Amino acid sequence: MIRVLLVDDQALVRSGFSLILSVEDDFEVVGEAPDGAAAIELTREVRPDIVLMDVQMPVMDGIEATRRIVAEDLAKVLVLTTFDHDEYVFDGLAAGASGFLLKNSDAEHLVEAVRTVAAGHALLAPQITRRVIEQMVAGERPLPGDTGALRQAGGAAAGARPRPTVEVPDGLALLTPREREVLELVGTGLSNAEIAKTLYLGEATVKTHVSNLLSKLHVRDRVQAVVLAHRVGLV
């Protein structure tokens, strides 16, 4: 069972999410909280697997609550909001959220998102992914959790946007030819199933390759791998 905690300041929204998830055989809604502060306390108490977290709430917003929950390693957090402003996306990722999904997503996508995050994968809505990649690759935003392996350098002509230059991570040289090939496909936004089909591999084999390359590159999740692939020119 995937144990889920719902956090939103609107009781009607929490009820709607609860109804959607409760009809699934593999979900158990273990609690509801109306704000970030209450979410932290309830997460410590009931220890859910996933916290569905709203952003704008009284007392404590969802970003700060996410940061504290992740820092204490209490649960994975999937951020849900009606807003798709860049600051929410980047702040949520920097806080350690494992996923970011818009509230106007349909029930099927919500269920899929919770299962994806519970399985240990990062998840972003497609429209959010595109914007994250564009701005990070352009050097307008830092890579969440950046350890300094990638950096932007100046030197652009006056009046022009500085063109980012990168230092290739040492881990890139450690990748096997197959892992590098998988990284290139991850960078194009393909899922594990799509990569498996493209390379004529089993999906379990692809998952192993992805896990290995994330470890070698010292990146936290698939989102960071996508950005890295773009920055070093693999895509």
Q: Which amino acid is at 173?
A: A
Residue keyed to tokens 């932290």: 40
> Residue 10: is its pLDDT beyond 80?
yes
* Contacts with 61 (C-beta within 8 Å, 6 or more apart), sequence order: 36, 55
State the residue for tokens 């905690």: 5
**Does the CA dihedral 12-17-22-27 come out positive or negative?**
negative
pLDDT band at 166 (very low <50, low <70, confident <90, very high): very low
Q: Give which of 201, 180, 113 is closest to 192, Cα–Cα.
A: 201
The mean pLDDT value for 122-129 works out to 64
Q: Is the pTM of this model over 0.85?
A: no
Q: What is the CATH number of domain 143-231?
A: 1.10.10.10
Structure tokens that stand for 31 in this block = 């609690």
Residue ranges per domain, the chain?
A: 2-124, 143-231
Ranges 44-48, 93-97, 186-190, most confident: 44-48
Q: Is the pLDDT of residue 153 over 60?
A: no
Strand partners, 29: 4
pLDDT band at 47 (very low <50, low <70, confident <90, very high): very high
List the structure tokens of 79: 């951020």
Per residue in 54-76, pLDDT tens?
999 999 999 999 999 999 999 99
The predicted pLDDT at position 188 comes to 79
- Domain 2-124: which topology? Rossmann fold (3.40.50)
pLDDT beyond 50 at 148 = no
Distance of CA 33 to the CA centre of its chain: 22
Which of the pair, 228 or 63, is modelled with greater confidence? 63
Could you give the residue ranges of the DSSP H alpha helices within 95-199?
107-118, 126-137, 177-187, 192-199
